[in-house]
Protein backbone atom coordinates (compact mmCIF):
# COMPACT_ATOMS: atom_id res chain seq x y z
CA UNK A 1 0.00 0.00 0.00
CA UNK A 2 2.81 2.40 0.88
CA UNK A 3 4.48 1.81 -2.48
CA UNK A 4 1.19 2.43 -4.31
CA UNK A 5 0.69 5.71 -2.44
CA UNK A 6 4.24 6.81 -3.24
CA UNK A 7 3.78 5.90 -6.91
CA UNK A 8 0.50 7.81 -7.05
CA UNK A 9 2.14 10.84 -5.41
CA UNK A 10 5.00 10.69 -7.89
CA UNK A 11 2.60 10.49 -10.84
CA UNK A 12 0.61 13.45 -9.58
CA UNK A 13 3.79 15.46 -9.00
CA UNK A 14 4.96 14.66 -12.54
CA UNK A 15 1.67 15.85 -13.95
CA UNK A 16 1.83 19.07 -11.92
CA UNK A 17 5.40 19.75 -13.07
CA UNK A 18 4.55 19.17 -16.72
CA UNK A 19 1.47 21.35 -16.49
CA UNK A 20 3.46 24.06 -14.71
CA UNK A 21 5.95 24.00 -17.56
CA UNK A 22 3.08 24.67 -19.90
CA UNK A 23 1.84 27.84 -18.18
CA UNK A 24 -0.56 30.00 -20.17
CA UNK A 25 0.27 28.68 -23.61
CA UNK A 26 -1.77 31.40 -25.28
CA UNK A 27 0.76 33.95 -24.07
CA UNK A 28 3.75 31.86 -25.19
CA UNK A 29 3.20 31.61 -28.95
CA UNK A 30 6.19 32.11 -31.28
CA UNK A 31 5.88 33.82 -33.68
CA UNK A 32 3.27 36.08 -32.13
CA UNK A 33 -0.03 35.98 -34.07
CA UNK A 34 -1.66 39.00 -35.69
CA UNK A 35 -4.61 38.99 -33.30
CA UNK A 36 -5.49 36.90 -30.24
CA UNK A 37 -8.67 37.15 -28.18
CA UNK A 38 -8.31 35.28 -24.90
CA UNK A 39 -11.44 33.84 -23.31
CA UNK A 40 -12.29 32.13 -20.05
CA UNK A 41 -12.19 28.37 -20.01
CA UNK A 42 -10.32 25.48 -21.56
CA UNK A 43 -11.12 22.70 -23.95
CA UNK A 44 -9.86 19.23 -22.97
CA UNK A 45 -9.28 16.49 -25.50
CA UNK A 46 -11.04 13.22 -24.90
CA UNK A 47 -9.19 9.92 -25.02
CA UNK A 48 -10.56 9.26 -28.50
CA UNK A 49 -9.79 12.15 -30.85
CA UNK A 50 -11.66 12.63 -34.10
CA UNK A 51 -10.45 15.23 -36.59
CA UNK A 52 -12.93 16.21 -39.28
CA UNK A 53 -12.26 18.05 -42.52
CA UNK A 54 -14.49 19.96 -44.91
CA UNK A 55 -12.64 18.93 -48.07
CA UNK A 56 -10.32 16.22 -49.33
CA UNK A 57 -7.50 18.76 -49.77
CA UNK A 58 -7.46 19.25 -46.00
CA UNK A 59 -6.99 15.55 -45.32
CA UNK A 60 -3.14 15.42 -45.47
CA UNK A 61 -2.77 18.20 -42.87
CA UNK A 62 -5.37 16.57 -40.64
CA UNK A 63 -3.49 13.28 -40.79
CA UNK A 64 -0.28 15.02 -39.76
CA UNK A 65 -2.11 16.52 -36.81
CA UNK A 66 -3.52 13.11 -35.89
CA UNK A 67 -0.02 11.63 -35.93
CA UNK A 68 1.35 14.49 -33.80
CA UNK A 69 -1.40 13.97 -31.21
CA UNK A 70 -1.38 10.18 -31.13
CA UNK A 71 2.20 9.54 -30.03
CA UNK A 72 2.51 11.62 -26.83
CA UNK A 73 -1.13 11.34 -25.74
CA UNK A 74 -1.53 7.65 -26.46
CA UNK A 75 -5.07 8.49 -27.55
CA UNK A 76 -6.81 6.84 -30.47
CA UNK A 77 -7.00 9.36 -33.31
CA UNK A 78 -8.92 9.28 -36.57
CA UNK A 79 -9.58 11.58 -39.50
CA UNK A 80 -12.74 11.72 -41.55
CA UNK A 81 -14.64 14.04 -43.83
CA UNK A 82 -17.57 15.78 -42.19
CA UNK A 83 -18.35 17.79 -39.05
CA UNK A 84 -18.36 17.35 -35.32
CA UNK A 85 -14.77 16.35 -34.58
CA UNK A 86 -12.86 17.62 -31.58
CA UNK A 87 -10.81 19.41 -34.23
CA UNK A 88 -12.54 20.62 -37.39
CA UNK A 89 -10.43 21.82 -40.31
CA UNK A 90 -12.25 23.96 -42.85
CA UNK A 91 -11.02 24.98 -46.29
CA UNK A 92 -13.01 28.05 -47.25
CA UNK A 93 -14.89 28.00 -50.54
CA UNK A 94 -15.08 31.82 -50.61
CA UNK A 95 -11.74 33.56 -50.11
CA UNK A 96 -11.22 35.36 -46.81
CA UNK A 97 -8.96 38.27 -47.77
CA UNK A 98 -8.13 38.99 -44.13
CA UNK A 99 -5.85 35.93 -43.91
CA UNK A 100 -4.35 35.63 -47.41
CA UNK A 101 -2.85 32.44 -48.84
CA UNK A 102 -1.01 31.22 -45.73
CA UNK A 103 -3.10 32.66 -42.93
CA UNK A 104 -5.71 30.98 -40.75
CA UNK A 105 -8.36 31.58 -38.15
CA UNK A 106 -8.74 29.45 -35.06
CA UNK A 107 -11.61 29.23 -32.62
CA UNK A 108 -11.40 27.21 -29.42
CA UNK A 109 -14.55 26.72 -27.35
CA UNK A 110 -16.26 24.06 -25.31
CA UNK A 111 -17.26 22.34 -28.56
CA UNK A 112 -13.68 21.92 -29.71
CA UNK A 113 -11.21 23.53 -32.10
CA UNK A 114 -12.07 24.92 -35.51
CA UNK A 115 -9.30 25.99 -37.90
CA UNK A 116 -10.29 27.74 -41.12
CA UNK A 117 -8.06 28.81 -44.00
CA UNK A 118 -8.10 29.60 -47.69
CA UNK A 119 -5.47 26.94 -48.46
CA UNK A 120 -4.03 23.76 -46.96
CA UNK A 121 -0.89 25.77 -46.11
CA UNK A 122 -3.02 28.00 -43.88
CA UNK A 123 -4.41 24.95 -42.13
CA UNK A 124 -0.86 23.66 -41.63
CA UNK A 125 0.25 26.89 -39.92
CA UNK A 126 -2.90 26.84 -37.82
CA UNK A 127 -1.90 23.32 -36.80
CA UNK A 128 1.50 24.59 -35.63
CA UNK A 129 -0.23 27.14 -33.42
CA UNK A 130 -2.59 24.48 -32.08
CA UNK A 131 0.35 22.27 -31.12
CA UNK A 132 1.99 25.18 -29.26
CA UNK A 133 -1.25 25.66 -27.30
CA UNK A 134 -1.01 22.11 -25.96
CA UNK A 135 1.18 21.19 -22.98
CA UNK A 136 4.94 20.87 -23.44
CA UNK A 137 4.64 17.07 -23.40
CA UNK A 138 3.12 17.21 -26.90
CA UNK A 139 6.74 17.22 -28.13
CA UNK A 140 7.49 13.86 -26.50
CA UNK A 141 8.35 10.89 -28.73
CA UNK A 142 6.61 8.50 -26.35
CA UNK A 143 3.38 8.40 -24.35
CA UNK A 144 3.24 10.83 -21.43
CA UNK A 145 0.70 9.77 -18.81
CA UNK A 146 -1.31 11.90 -16.36
CA UNK A 147 -1.39 14.98 -18.59
CA UNK A 148 -4.46 17.13 -18.89
CA UNK A 149 -4.44 17.72 -22.65
CA UNK A 150 -6.19 21.08 -22.55
CA UNK A 151 -5.96 24.32 -24.52
CA UNK A 152 -7.42 27.73 -23.62
CA UNK A 153 -10.55 29.14 -25.22
CA UNK A 154 -9.54 31.72 -27.80
CA UNK A 155 -10.09 33.28 -31.19
CA UNK A 156 -6.94 33.78 -33.29
CA UNK A 157 -6.56 35.53 -36.63
CA UNK A 158 -3.13 35.19 -38.21
CA UNK A 159 -1.19 35.50 -41.44
CA UNK A 160 2.48 36.04 -42.41
CA UNK A 161 4.06 39.41 -43.07
CA UNK A 162 6.33 37.92 -45.79
CA UNK A 163 5.95 35.07 -48.23
CA UNK A 164 9.68 34.16 -48.16
CA UNK A 165 10.56 32.96 -44.67
CA UNK A 166 13.75 31.07 -45.13
CA UNK A 167 16.61 29.23 -43.49
CA UNK A 168 19.76 28.23 -45.36
CA UNK A 169 21.40 24.90 -44.55
CA UNK A 170 24.98 24.44 -45.74
CA UNK A 171 25.55 20.72 -46.28
CA UNK A 172 28.75 21.21 -48.30
CA UNK A 173 31.28 22.07 -45.60
CA UNK A 174 30.10 19.01 -43.72
CA UNK A 175 27.73 16.39 -45.07
CA UNK A 176 24.47 15.83 -43.22
CA UNK A 177 22.31 12.80 -43.80
CA UNK A 178 18.94 12.74 -45.51
CA UNK A 179 17.33 12.04 -42.13
CA UNK A 180 19.05 15.09 -40.63
CA UNK A 181 17.82 17.31 -43.47
CA UNK A 182 14.29 16.07 -42.78
CA UNK A 183 14.75 16.85 -39.09
CA UNK A 184 15.94 20.35 -40.06
CA UNK A 185 12.65 20.77 -41.94
CA UNK A 186 10.62 19.40 -39.00
CA UNK A 187 12.27 21.89 -36.64
CA UNK A 188 11.81 24.94 -38.88
CA UNK A 189 8.12 24.45 -39.68
CA UNK A 190 7.21 24.60 -36.00
CA UNK A 191 7.98 28.31 -36.23
CA UNK A 192 6.28 28.76 -39.62
CA UNK A 193 9.32 28.89 -41.89
CA UNK A 194 8.46 27.92 -45.47
CA UNK A 195 11.74 28.10 -47.45
CA UNK A 196 14.78 25.82 -47.22
CA UNK A 197 17.79 27.20 -49.07
CA UNK A 198 19.90 24.08 -49.64
CA UNK A 199 23.58 24.97 -50.16
CA UNK A 200 24.65 21.87 -52.06
CA UNK A 201 28.09 22.66 -53.46
CA UNK A 202 31.24 24.38 -52.23
CA UNK A 203 35.00 23.91 -51.96
CA UNK A 204 34.60 21.18 -49.35
CA UNK A 205 32.13 18.96 -51.15
CA UNK A 206 29.72 18.45 -54.06
CA UNK A 207 26.60 16.95 -52.54
CA UNK A 208 24.14 16.38 -55.39
CA UNK A 209 24.26 13.53 -57.90
CA UNK A 210 24.52 14.73 -61.50
CA UNK A 211 24.17 11.58 -63.60
CA UNK A 212 25.74 13.06 -66.72
CA UNK A 213 28.81 14.13 -64.68
CA UNK A 214 29.56 11.17 -62.38
CA UNK A 215 32.98 12.43 -61.24
CA UNK A 216 31.28 15.24 -59.32
CA UNK A 217 30.20 12.79 -56.63
CA UNK A 218 32.78 10.09 -57.21
CA UNK A 219 35.58 12.60 -56.61
CA UNK A 220 34.03 15.91 -55.53
CA UNK A 221 31.94 14.53 -52.66
CA UNK A 222 34.91 13.17 -50.71
CA UNK A 223 37.92 14.65 -48.96
CA UNK A 224 40.56 13.69 -46.45
CA UNK A 225 39.37 13.51 -42.88
CA UNK A 226 40.43 16.40 -40.67
CA UNK A 227 39.27 17.10 -37.13
CA UNK A 228 39.88 19.97 -34.78
CA UNK A 229 39.58 23.70 -35.23
CA UNK A 230 38.24 24.76 -38.60
CA UNK A 231 40.81 26.44 -40.92
CA UNK A 232 43.56 25.07 -38.66
CA UNK A 233 43.84 21.93 -40.76
CA UNK A 234 46.63 21.00 -43.13
CA UNK A 235 46.31 20.37 -46.83
CA UNK A 236 45.95 16.76 -48.04
CA UNK A 237 49.08 14.66 -48.30
CA UNK A 238 49.85 12.96 -51.63
CA UNK A 239 47.64 9.89 -52.06
CA UNK A 240 46.00 10.41 -48.66
CA UNK A 241 42.70 8.46 -48.56
CA UNK A 242 39.60 10.58 -49.08
CA UNK A 243 37.11 8.98 -46.76
CA UNK A 244 35.10 11.92 -45.38
CA UNK A 245 31.97 13.20 -47.10
CA UNK A 246 28.88 11.99 -48.87
CA UNK A 247 26.20 13.07 -51.31
CA UNK A 248 22.50 12.81 -52.05
CA UNK A 249 21.36 10.59 -54.88
CA UNK A 250 18.65 11.93 -57.14
CA UNK A 251 16.22 9.59 -55.42
CA UNK A 252 17.29 11.12 -52.09
CA UNK A 253 16.66 14.59 -53.48
CA UNK A 254 13.20 13.63 -54.74
CA UNK A 255 12.36 12.14 -51.35
CA UNK A 256 13.42 15.27 -49.46
CA UNK A 257 11.62 17.56 -51.91
CA UNK A 258 8.41 15.57 -51.41
CA UNK A 259 8.88 15.52 -47.63
CA UNK A 260 9.28 19.29 -47.66
CA UNK A 261 6.27 19.77 -49.95
CA UNK A 262 4.06 17.85 -47.53
CA UNK A 263 5.11 20.39 -44.87
CA UNK A 264 4.64 23.39 -47.18
CA UNK A 265 8.37 24.04 -47.44
CA UNK A 266 9.84 25.04 -50.78
CA UNK A 267 13.45 24.05 -51.45
CA UNK A 268 15.80 26.48 -53.18
CA UNK A 269 18.86 24.59 -54.51
CA UNK A 270 22.19 26.37 -54.67
CA UNK A 271 25.02 25.46 -57.04
CA UNK A 272 27.75 27.90 -56.01
CA UNK A 273 29.68 29.19 -59.03
CA UNK A 274 32.04 30.55 -60.31
CA UNK A 275 33.87 30.73 -56.94
CA UNK A 276 33.73 28.14 -54.17
CA UNK A 277 34.18 25.46 -56.85
CA UNK A 278 37.16 23.39 -55.67
CA UNK A 279 35.07 20.24 -55.38
CA UNK A 280 33.96 20.61 -59.00
CA UNK A 281 37.53 21.38 -60.13
CA UNK A 282 38.87 18.33 -58.33
CA UNK A 283 36.48 16.28 -60.44
CA UNK A 284 36.94 18.21 -63.69
CA UNK A 285 40.16 20.29 -63.55
CA UNK A 286 39.79 21.32 -67.20
CA UNK A 287 37.11 23.81 -66.09
CA UNK A 288 39.72 26.14 -64.57
CA UNK A 289 41.82 28.90 -66.10
CA UNK A 290 44.85 27.28 -64.43
CA UNK A 291 46.30 23.76 -64.73
CA UNK A 292 45.93 22.79 -61.05
CA UNK A 293 46.22 20.22 -59.52
CA UNK A 294 43.04 20.52 -57.46
CA UNK A 295 41.89 18.77 -54.30
CA UNK A 296 38.59 18.94 -52.46
CA UNK A 297 39.31 21.31 -49.58
CA UNK A 298 39.75 19.82 -46.13
CA UNK A 299 39.13 23.18 -44.49
CA UNK A 300 42.37 25.02 -45.10
CA UNK A 301 42.61 28.74 -45.81
CA UNK A 302 41.48 29.66 -49.32
CA UNK A 303 41.16 33.44 -49.16
CA UNK A 304 42.91 36.48 -47.73
CA UNK A 305 40.67 39.25 -46.48
CA UNK A 306 41.60 42.90 -46.16
CA UNK A 307 39.67 46.18 -45.84
CA UNK A 308 37.62 46.67 -48.98
CA UNK A 309 38.30 43.34 -50.62
CA UNK A 310 39.81 39.88 -50.79
CA UNK A 311 42.03 37.69 -52.93
CA UNK A 312 42.31 33.97 -53.34
CA UNK A 313 45.13 31.95 -51.84
CA UNK A 314 44.25 29.15 -54.24
CA UNK A 315 42.22 29.30 -57.43
CA UNK A 316 38.79 27.88 -56.61
CA UNK A 317 37.00 29.44 -59.60
CA UNK A 318 35.49 28.15 -62.79
CA UNK A 319 37.01 29.93 -65.78
CA UNK A 320 34.58 32.45 -67.33
CA UNK A 321 36.56 32.35 -70.60
CA UNK A 322 36.33 28.57 -70.96
CA UNK A 323 33.42 27.36 -73.10
CA UNK A 324 33.66 23.94 -71.46
CA UNK A 325 32.38 25.61 -68.28
CA UNK A 326 29.10 26.60 -69.88
CA UNK A 327 28.60 23.14 -71.37
CA UNK A 328 29.27 21.72 -67.89
CA UNK A 329 26.79 24.09 -66.26
CA UNK A 330 24.17 23.30 -68.86
CA UNK A 331 24.34 19.64 -67.82
CA UNK A 332 24.26 20.53 -64.12
CA UNK A 333 21.31 22.90 -64.32
CA UNK A 334 19.37 20.56 -66.62
CA UNK A 335 19.33 17.92 -63.90
CA UNK A 336 18.90 20.36 -61.02
CA UNK A 337 15.88 21.93 -62.74
CA UNK A 338 14.27 18.52 -63.14
CA UNK A 339 14.70 17.69 -59.45
CA UNK A 340 13.46 20.92 -57.85
CA UNK A 341 10.01 22.32 -58.69
CA UNK A 342 10.75 25.82 -57.34
CA UNK A 343 10.91 28.59 -59.92
CA UNK A 344 14.34 29.82 -58.76
CA UNK A 345 17.82 28.26 -58.83
CA UNK A 346 20.58 29.88 -56.77
CA UNK A 347 23.93 30.30 -58.56
CA UNK A 348 25.98 31.60 -55.62
CA UNK A 349 28.22 34.17 -57.29
CA UNK A 350 29.97 35.27 -54.10
CA UNK A 351 33.60 35.77 -53.09
CA UNK A 352 35.20 35.12 -56.46
CA UNK A 353 39.01 34.93 -56.39
CA UNK A 354 39.43 37.38 -59.28
CA UNK A 355 43.15 37.81 -58.71
CA UNK A 356 43.60 34.55 -60.64
CA UNK A 357 41.40 35.83 -63.46
CA UNK A 358 43.61 38.93 -63.66
CA UNK A 359 46.61 36.73 -64.48
CA UNK A 360 44.79 34.57 -67.02
CA UNK A 361 45.55 35.03 -70.73
CA UNK A 362 42.20 33.38 -71.50
CA UNK A 363 40.37 36.00 -69.46
CA UNK A 364 42.34 38.84 -71.06
CA UNK A 365 41.35 37.53 -74.49
CA UNK A 366 37.70 37.32 -73.40
CA UNK A 367 37.77 40.90 -72.17
CA UNK A 368 39.08 42.12 -75.50
CA UNK A 369 36.58 40.05 -77.48
CA UNK A 370 33.54 41.10 -75.42
CA UNK A 371 34.70 44.70 -74.69
CA UNK A 372 34.73 44.07 -70.94
CA UNK A 373 36.39 46.92 -69.08
CA UNK A 374 37.23 45.22 -65.78
CA UNK A 375 36.85 42.05 -63.76
CA UNK A 376 33.46 43.15 -62.45
CA UNK A 377 32.25 43.07 -66.04
CA UNK A 378 33.87 39.65 -66.47
CA UNK A 379 31.78 38.38 -63.57
CA UNK A 380 28.68 40.04 -65.04
CA UNK A 381 29.40 38.29 -68.35
CA UNK A 382 29.55 34.96 -66.51
CA UNK A 383 26.31 35.69 -64.64
CA UNK A 384 24.49 36.55 -67.88
CA UNK A 385 25.65 33.30 -69.46
CA UNK A 386 24.45 31.35 -66.42
CA UNK A 387 21.14 33.21 -66.48
CA UNK A 388 20.60 32.17 -70.09
CA UNK A 389 21.24 28.55 -69.17
CA UNK A 390 18.92 28.68 -66.15
CA UNK A 391 16.17 30.49 -68.07
CA UNK A 392 16.38 27.86 -70.80
CA UNK A 393 15.41 25.28 -68.19
CA UNK A 394 12.25 27.23 -67.37
CA UNK A 395 13.74 28.65 -64.16
CA UNK A 396 14.71 32.06 -62.79
CA UNK A 397 18.12 32.99 -61.42
CA UNK A 398 18.89 34.22 -57.93
CA UNK A 399 22.33 34.83 -56.44
CA UNK A 400 24.28 36.54 -53.68
CA UNK A 401 24.59 40.31 -54.06
CA UNK A 402 27.98 40.07 -55.83
CA UNK A 403 26.01 39.28 -58.99
CA UNK A 404 25.25 43.01 -59.02
CA UNK A 405 28.91 43.75 -59.80
CA UNK A 406 29.30 44.92 -63.37
CA UNK A 407 25.55 45.12 -63.97
CA UNK A 408 22.76 42.75 -62.96
CA UNK A 409 21.37 40.18 -65.36
CA UNK A 410 17.96 41.12 -66.71
CA UNK A 411 15.59 38.82 -64.81
CA UNK A 412 17.79 37.84 -61.84
CA UNK A 413 16.81 38.24 -58.20
CA UNK A 414 19.29 39.15 -55.50
CA UNK A 415 19.92 37.71 -52.06
CA UNK A 416 21.52 40.58 -50.13
CA UNK A 417 24.06 39.30 -47.59
CA UNK A 418 26.66 42.10 -47.33
CA UNK A 419 24.24 44.24 -45.38
CA UNK A 420 21.14 45.75 -46.98
CA UNK A 421 22.98 47.77 -49.63
CA UNK A 422 22.88 45.18 -52.39
CA UNK A 423 19.20 44.52 -51.87
CA UNK A 424 18.39 48.21 -51.92
CA UNK A 425 20.34 48.70 -55.15
CA UNK A 426 18.68 45.70 -56.80
CA UNK A 427 15.18 46.80 -55.74
CA UNK A 428 15.77 50.30 -57.08
CA UNK A 429 16.60 48.65 -60.42
CA UNK A 430 13.26 46.83 -60.26
CA UNK A 431 14.60 43.40 -59.25
CA UNK A 432 13.11 41.18 -56.58
CA UNK A 433 15.22 40.69 -53.48
CA UNK A 434 15.52 38.53 -50.40
CA UNK A 435 17.12 40.28 -47.44
CA UNK A 436 19.68 38.19 -45.61
CA UNK A 437 22.19 40.68 -44.13
CA UNK A 438 25.02 39.03 -42.21
CA UNK A 439 24.79 41.48 -39.30
CA UNK A 440 21.27 40.28 -38.46
CA UNK A 441 20.83 36.76 -39.82
CA UNK A 442 24.13 34.83 -39.97
CA UNK A 443 23.41 32.05 -37.51
CA UNK A 444 26.93 30.61 -37.58
CA UNK A 445 28.21 33.71 -35.76
CA UNK A 446 29.09 33.52 -32.06
CA UNK A 447 25.87 33.97 -30.12
CA UNK A 448 27.12 34.43 -26.58
CA UNK A 449 30.29 34.95 -24.56
CA UNK A 450 33.12 34.37 -27.10
CA UNK A 451 35.42 32.60 -24.63
CA UNK A 452 33.10 29.58 -24.44
CA UNK A 453 31.83 29.47 -28.05
CA UNK A 454 33.47 28.09 -31.18
CA UNK A 455 35.63 30.91 -32.57
CA UNK A 456 34.04 32.81 -35.46
CA UNK A 457 34.98 36.21 -36.86
CA UNK A 458 31.78 37.95 -35.73
CA UNK A 459 29.09 37.95 -33.04
CA UNK A 460 25.31 37.86 -33.37
CA UNK A 461 23.33 38.06 -30.17
CA UNK A 462 19.66 37.11 -30.31
CA UNK A 463 18.60 40.65 -29.45
CA UNK A 464 20.41 41.87 -32.57
CA UNK A 465 18.72 39.19 -34.70
CA UNK A 466 15.35 40.33 -33.37
CA UNK A 467 16.00 43.83 -34.75
CA UNK A 468 15.94 42.51 -38.32
CA UNK A 469 13.56 44.45 -40.57
CA UNK A 470 13.48 43.06 -44.13
CA UNK A 471 12.11 46.20 -45.81
CA UNK A 472 14.46 49.21 -45.58
CA UNK A 473 13.11 52.73 -45.76
CA UNK A 474 12.59 53.98 -49.29
CA UNK A 475 12.36 50.54 -50.90
CA UNK A 476 9.28 49.23 -52.68
CA UNK A 477 7.99 46.58 -50.28
CA UNK A 478 6.47 44.66 -53.19
CA UNK A 479 9.98 43.86 -54.43
CA UNK A 480 11.15 42.44 -51.07
CA UNK A 481 10.04 38.82 -51.12
CA UNK A 482 11.12 38.35 -47.52
CA UNK A 483 14.13 37.36 -45.50
CA UNK A 484 16.27 34.44 -44.47
CA UNK A 485 18.62 33.19 -41.78
CA UNK A 486 21.84 31.60 -43.04
CA UNK A 487 23.65 28.75 -41.34
CA UNK A 488 27.12 28.09 -42.70
CA UNK A 489 28.57 24.89 -41.29
CA UNK A 490 32.36 25.20 -41.50
CA UNK A 491 32.55 24.58 -37.75
CA UNK A 492 29.45 22.41 -37.39
CA UNK A 493 30.36 18.79 -37.98
CA UNK A 494 27.44 17.29 -36.03
CA UNK A 495 23.73 17.93 -36.37
CA UNK A 496 23.38 18.63 -32.66
CA UNK A 497 25.67 21.61 -33.19
CA UNK A 498 23.50 22.73 -36.11
CA UNK A 499 20.52 22.83 -33.77
CA UNK A 500 22.55 24.64 -31.10
CA UNK A 501 23.34 27.47 -33.52
CA UNK A 502 19.79 27.69 -34.87
CA UNK A 503 17.74 27.78 -31.71
CA UNK A 504 16.57 30.05 -30.23
CA UNK A 505 17.95 32.70 -32.61
CA UNK A 506 15.90 31.30 -35.50
CA UNK A 507 12.80 31.95 -33.37
CA UNK A 508 13.71 35.63 -33.36
CA UNK A 509 14.02 35.68 -37.14
CA UNK A 510 10.79 33.70 -37.51
CA UNK A 511 8.93 36.44 -35.67
CA UNK A 512 10.58 39.11 -37.83
CA UNK A 513 9.30 37.33 -40.95
CA UNK A 514 5.84 36.21 -39.83
CA UNK A 515 4.52 38.74 -37.33
CA UNK A 516 3.42 42.33 -38.03
CA UNK A 517 6.15 44.85 -37.30
CA UNK A 518 3.96 46.65 -34.79
CA UNK A 519 3.50 43.42 -32.77
CA UNK A 520 7.22 42.96 -32.18
CA UNK A 521 8.38 43.61 -28.63
CA UNK A 522 11.68 42.31 -27.25
CA UNK A 523 10.58 41.83 -23.64
CA UNK A 524 7.48 39.95 -24.76
CA UNK A 525 9.43 37.87 -27.24
CA UNK A 526 12.21 36.85 -24.86
CA UNK A 527 9.66 35.67 -22.30
CA UNK A 528 7.85 33.65 -24.98
CA UNK A 529 11.14 32.25 -26.33
CA UNK A 530 12.10 31.09 -22.82
CA UNK A 531 8.75 29.33 -22.59
CA UNK A 532 9.72 27.38 -25.72
CA UNK A 533 12.86 25.94 -24.08
CA UNK A 534 11.06 23.08 -22.28
CA UNK A 535 9.45 22.19 -25.63
CA UNK A 536 12.84 21.98 -27.29
CA UNK A 537 14.04 19.76 -24.46
CA UNK A 538 11.00 17.49 -24.76
CA UNK A 539 11.68 17.19 -28.50
CA UNK A 540 15.37 16.37 -27.85
CA UNK A 541 16.34 19.49 -29.81
CA UNK A 542 19.59 21.03 -28.70
CA UNK A 543 19.54 24.79 -28.17
CA UNK A 544 21.70 27.57 -26.78
CA UNK A 545 21.13 29.31 -23.46
CA UNK A 546 23.45 32.16 -24.45
CA UNK A 547 20.74 34.72 -23.71
CA UNK A 548 21.60 34.15 -20.05
CA UNK A 549 25.31 34.81 -20.50
CA UNK A 550 26.52 38.23 -19.37
CA UNK A 551 27.54 40.58 -22.16
CA UNK A 552 31.03 41.68 -21.11
CA UNK A 553 32.79 44.83 -22.28
CA UNK A 554 36.22 45.90 -21.01
CA UNK A 555 38.19 49.11 -21.07
CA UNK A 556 41.39 50.23 -19.43
CA UNK A 557 41.16 52.10 -16.12
CA UNK A 558 44.54 53.33 -14.89
CA UNK A 559 46.23 50.16 -16.05
CA UNK A 560 43.57 47.76 -14.74
CA UNK A 561 40.66 46.17 -16.63
CA UNK A 562 37.31 47.84 -15.97
CA UNK A 563 34.52 45.39 -16.73
CA UNK A 564 30.99 46.48 -17.59
CA UNK A 565 28.24 43.87 -17.80
CA UNK A 566 24.93 43.98 -19.62
CA UNK A 567 22.29 41.29 -20.01
CA UNK A 568 19.94 40.22 -22.81
CA UNK A 569 17.24 38.38 -20.89
CA UNK A 570 15.27 40.35 -18.29
CA UNK A 571 15.41 39.45 -14.61
CA UNK A 572 19.03 38.29 -14.52
CA UNK A 573 21.41 38.86 -11.61
CA UNK A 574 25.15 38.44 -12.19
CA UNK A 575 27.41 37.20 -9.40
CA UNK A 576 31.20 37.14 -9.60
CA UNK A 577 34.44 36.14 -7.90
CA UNK A 578 38.07 37.19 -8.40
CA UNK A 579 39.68 34.71 -5.94
CA UNK A 580 39.61 31.60 -8.17
CA UNK A 581 36.52 30.17 -6.42
CA UNK A 582 33.30 29.40 -8.28
CA UNK A 583 30.61 32.08 -7.84
CA UNK A 584 27.11 31.53 -6.58
CA UNK A 585 24.33 33.86 -5.48
CA UNK A 586 25.97 34.46 -2.10
CA UNK A 587 29.01 36.06 -3.72
CA UNK A 588 29.36 39.61 -4.93
CA UNK A 589 26.48 40.79 -7.10
CA UNK A 590 27.24 42.97 -10.07
CA UNK A 591 25.79 46.45 -9.58
CA UNK A 592 28.44 48.68 -11.15
CA UNK A 593 31.58 48.34 -13.32
CA UNK A 594 34.21 46.04 -11.80
CA UNK A 595 37.82 47.18 -11.49
CA UNK A 596 39.73 43.88 -11.60
CA UNK A 597 42.83 44.11 -9.36
CA UNK A 598 46.22 43.25 -10.80
CA UNK A 599 46.67 40.30 -8.43
CA UNK A 600 43.57 38.52 -9.81
CA UNK A 601 44.03 35.65 -12.22
CA UNK A 602 40.43 35.26 -13.38
CA UNK A 603 37.12 37.04 -13.23
CA UNK A 604 34.40 34.40 -12.92
CA UNK A 605 30.77 35.22 -13.63
CA UNK A 606 27.51 33.34 -13.27
CA UNK A 607 23.97 34.50 -14.04
CA UNK A 608 21.02 33.71 -11.78
CA UNK A 609 17.32 34.06 -12.46
CA UNK A 610 14.61 33.55 -9.86
CA UNK A 611 17.26 32.29 -7.45
CA UNK A 612 18.59 29.58 -9.79
CA UNK A 613 21.78 29.50 -11.89
CA UNK A 614 21.19 29.78 -15.63
CA UNK A 615 23.50 30.01 -18.62
CA UNK A 616 27.18 29.17 -18.43
CA UNK A 617 29.99 29.76 -15.97
CA UNK A 618 32.21 32.42 -17.54
CA UNK A 619 35.89 32.50 -16.58
CA UNK A 620 37.96 35.33 -18.07
CA UNK A 621 41.70 35.38 -17.47
CA UNK A 622 43.57 38.57 -16.71
CA UNK A 623 45.35 38.26 -20.06
CA UNK A 624 42.00 38.01 -21.85
CA UNK A 625 40.61 41.01 -19.97
CA UNK A 626 43.66 43.12 -20.85
CA UNK A 627 43.45 42.01 -24.47
CA UNK A 628 39.84 43.14 -24.68
CA UNK A 629 40.66 46.40 -22.95
CA UNK A 630 43.27 47.17 -25.58
CA UNK A 631 41.07 46.32 -28.58
- E strands, 266-355, in order: 266-273, 303-306, 309-312, 344-348
Residues 6+ apart with CB under 8 A from 312: 302, 303, 304, 353, 354, 355, 356
Alpha helices in 429-565 (DSSP H): 438-441, 462-465, 495-502, 505-514, 522-538
What is each CA distance from 75 to 71, 132, 367, 466, in whole angstroms? 8, 18, 70, 38
Distance CA 151, CA 325 (A): 58
DSSP 297-310: --S---EEEETTEE
Of 102, 139, 335, 351, the active-site residue reads: 351
- Going by C-alpha positions, the residue among 40, 37, 34, 85 that lies closest to residue 63 is 85
Residues 6+ apart with CB under 8 A from 631: none
Distance CA 325, CA 465 (A): 39
Yes or no: say if 481 and 433 are a contact pair by the CB < 8 Å rule.
Answer: yes
Residues 6+ apart with CB under 8 A from 361: none
Distance CA 520, CA 32 (A): 8
Distance CA 498, CA 186 (A): 14
Radius of gyration from C-alpha coordinates of the chain: 27
Q: Is the peptide bond before 31 cis (omega within 30 degrees of 0)?
A: yes
End-to-end CA distance of the chain: 68
Annotated catalytic, 351?
yes
How many other C-beta atoms lie within 10 A of the C-beta of residue 1?
5
Query: Catalytic site residues?
Result: 351
Amino acid sequence: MYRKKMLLAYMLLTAVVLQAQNGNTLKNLVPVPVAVVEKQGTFTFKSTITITVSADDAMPVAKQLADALAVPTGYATSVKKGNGGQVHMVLLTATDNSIGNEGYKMSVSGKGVTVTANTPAGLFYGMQTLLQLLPTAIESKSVVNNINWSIPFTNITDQPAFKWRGLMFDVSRHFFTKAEVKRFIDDMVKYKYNMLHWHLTDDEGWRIEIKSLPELTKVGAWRVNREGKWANTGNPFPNEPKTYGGFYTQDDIKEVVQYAKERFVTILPEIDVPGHSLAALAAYPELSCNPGPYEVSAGGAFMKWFPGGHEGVIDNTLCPANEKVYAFLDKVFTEVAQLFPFEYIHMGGDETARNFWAKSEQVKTLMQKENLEDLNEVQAYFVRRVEQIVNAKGKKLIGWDEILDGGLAQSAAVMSWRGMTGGIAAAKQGHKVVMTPYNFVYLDFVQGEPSIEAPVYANLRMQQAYKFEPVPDGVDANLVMGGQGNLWTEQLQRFRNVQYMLWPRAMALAECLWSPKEKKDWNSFIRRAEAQFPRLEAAATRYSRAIYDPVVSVKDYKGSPQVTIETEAPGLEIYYTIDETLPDNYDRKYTQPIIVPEDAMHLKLLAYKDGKPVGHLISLSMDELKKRANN
